């Protein structure tokens, strides 16, 4: 049977450090920092103002943060603008979709203008088709008139 019975082994019991031990570790760490600061002051590598400002920045950052200074490029800070700061007259930057949509509308308007003037291929084809249809209708009207005249002539002969 495995360790811990039927349910299995869950790991070691949790160990908690007592508050006195934590305090002792904190004091020891502070003493080490103070010794490092006094050694730096005695070395005379810089003025007292510079060393105190360096200590402040080191204390604010913990761990590796003090060694590496990185600005996150993905983090965007939301800066709200006041109404008085907004420039209404400035040219508005259009998105790619908006620019494409405007260009599409302009090209459509240009095409329709040329189409109405009869300068496009499609307009020429439409006009040719219309001319053919007009001629066919005129021919049909003439045929109907001829048939009507023939019928009237036949009716006139039949009555005599």
Residues 115-130: tens digit of each pLDDT: 888 888 989 999 999 9
Of 58, 76, 111, the one marking the end of a domain is 58
Same domain for 100 and 151?
Answer: yes
**Nearest CA among 12, 30, 33, 13 for reference residue 22:** 30
Task: Report the predicted TM-score, pTM, of the whole model to 2 decimal places.
Answer: 0.34
**9 within 8 A of 3, measured Cβ to Cβ:** yes
Does any domain span residue 4?
A: no
Does any domain span residue 13?
A: no
Does any domain span residue 6?
A: no
* Structural domain total, the chain: 2
Give pLDDT tens digits for 127-137.
Answer: 999 999 999 99
Does any domain span residue 52?
A: yes
Residue 160 pLDDT level (bands cut at 50, 70, 90): low
Does any domain span residue 88?
A: no
**Nearest CA among 57, 80, 56, 86 for reference residue 69:** 57
Does any domain span residue 134?
A: yes
Same domain for 103 and 49?
Answer: no
Same domain for 45 and 100?
Answer: no
Does any domain span residue 63?
A: no
The DSSP 8-state label assigned to residue 84 in this structure reads: T
Q: The domain containing residue 106 runs over which residues?
A: 96-159
Average pLDDT over residues 92-120: 91
Does any domain span residue 64?
A: no
Q: How far apart are CA 101 and CA 45, in angstroms?
A: 65
């Amino acid at each position: 049977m495995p360790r811990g019975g039927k349910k299995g082994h869950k790991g070691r019991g949790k160990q908690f450090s007592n508050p006195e031990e934590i305090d002792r570790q904190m004091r020891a760490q502070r003493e080490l920092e103070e010794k490092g600061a006094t050694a730096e002051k005695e070395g005379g590598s810089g003025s007292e103002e510079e060393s105190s400002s360096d200590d402040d920045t080191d204390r604010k950052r913990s761990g590796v943060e003090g060694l590496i200074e990185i600005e996150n490029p993905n983090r965007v800070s939301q800066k709200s603008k006041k109404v008085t700061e907004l420039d209404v007259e400035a040219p508005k930057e259009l998105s790619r979709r908006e620019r494409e949509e405007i260009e599409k509308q302009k090209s459509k308007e240009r095409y329709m203008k040329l189409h109405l003037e009869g300068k496009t291929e499609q307009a020429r084809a439409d006009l040719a088709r219309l001319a053919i249809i007009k001629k066919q209708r005129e021919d049909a009207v003439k045929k109907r008139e001829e048939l009507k005249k023939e019928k009237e002539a036949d009716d006139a002969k039949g009555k005599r």
